[in-house]
Chains A and B, each alone.
Chain A
Amino acid sequence: MIWKRFKLFCGILSAILCIWAMVHTDPPLHSFPLAKSYQRDSLQETGAQNAATAIYLDYRVYDSLFESLLLLISAVSIHHLNKEGTHGSKS
């Protein structure tokens, strides 16, 4: 029992330490050259006022494409698996 509590305590402590380290050690901004170029050039290069929109509808549009393809394939597969008479007999 005590050993279990000790392991739980250690887990919570390490999680708090991880969050503290992530919050209090900001990486300097010049270590993200791509982010800066997105923020600076996205309006000229894509016509989007928001950098997030510029990324998901222009620079990385295939991400949106395959995300919606994932939804389409899941709908089609549910439709396929749901057909009457494809799994066992009705009770």
Chain B
Amino acid sequence: MDQNHDLIAYLTELLYPFILLFGFYVIIYGDISPGGGFQGGAILASVIILRYISYPLGEVELHTLQKIEKIFYISIVLVPLLSLFTRQVALTNFLLPYPHLARWYLIILNLLIGFKVCLGLSVIFYEFVLHERRWFK
């Protein structure tokens, strides 16, 4: 695909907000309904894949994306370890002493996992795409 197709670009632009809304819904309500971080992250990654379909020649800074992904992974490891300070037990819900806040631990962890999976899948996709572009130039 060497050039933009205006119809596809327009239609995918129309689809962006709905896919984003559905992805965030799946992530944020992942603790009480089917879904979760991984599934919602895959839905969010489809937005970035659609961006490639509408603008195939756009540039992406993969180094920055990977750095952000590593930061998200470190925070995914650190958030369950926070319970060492509040409950003296590692790798559990650190907000359980405050019952009205206890659900926020699940939402935060689902959001972090979702963003991390989205960045990881889009990095993998763009690596393959850029490889092909470099190879067949």
Residues of A within 8 A of B (CB): 45-50, 53, 56-58, 61-62, 64-65, 67-69, 71-72, 74-76, 78-79, 82, 84, 90
* Chain B positions 93-137 with a Cβ under 8 Å from a chain A Cβ: 93, 95-96, 99, 102-103, 105-106, 109-110, 113, 116-117, 120-121, 123-124, 127-128, 130-131, 134-135
Do the beta carbons of B70 and A72 come within 8 Å of each other?
Answer: yes
**Distance, CA A82 to CA B69, complexed state (A):** 18
Given A57-B31, A76-B66, A79-B66, do A68 and B76 touch, yes or no (CB 8 Å)?
yes
> How far apart are A33's CB and chain B's nearest CB, in angstroms?
21
**Distance, CA A45 to CA B89, complexed state (A):** 12
Do the beta carbons of A47 and B91 come within 8 Å of each other?
Answer: no
Given A58-B92, A61-B91, A67-B38, do A50 and B32 touch, yes or no (CB 8 Å)?
yes
- For A67, A69, A72, the residue with the greatest tally of chain B CB atoms inside 10 Å of its CB is A72
Do the beta carbons of A53 and B106 come within 8 Å of each other?
Answer: yes
Extra A-B contacts (8), CB below 8 Å, given A53-B31, A65-B77, A75-B124: A47-B95, A47-B96, A49-B31, A57-B109, A75-B123, A78-B123, A78-B124, A78-B128
> How far apart are B86's CB and chain A's nearest CB, in angstroms?
12
> How far apart are B84's CB and chain A's nearest CB, in angstroms?
13
* Chain B residues closer than 8 Å to A48, beta-carbon distance: 31, 93, 103, 106
Q: Is B23 an interface residue (CB 8 A)?
A: no
* Chain B residues closer than 8 Å to A65, beta-carbon distance: 76-77, 80
Please name the residue on chain B nearest to A79 by beta carbon: B127
Main secondary structure of the interface of B (DSSP, over half): helix
Please name the residue on chain B nearest to A91 by beta carbon: B135
Do the beta carbons of B124 and A56 come within 8 Å of each other?
Answer: no
**Distance, CA A62 to CA B137, complexed state (A):** 43
Instruction: Give B60-80 as 1s and 0s: 1 = Cβ < 8 Å from A's Cβ atoms.
Output: 001000100110010011001
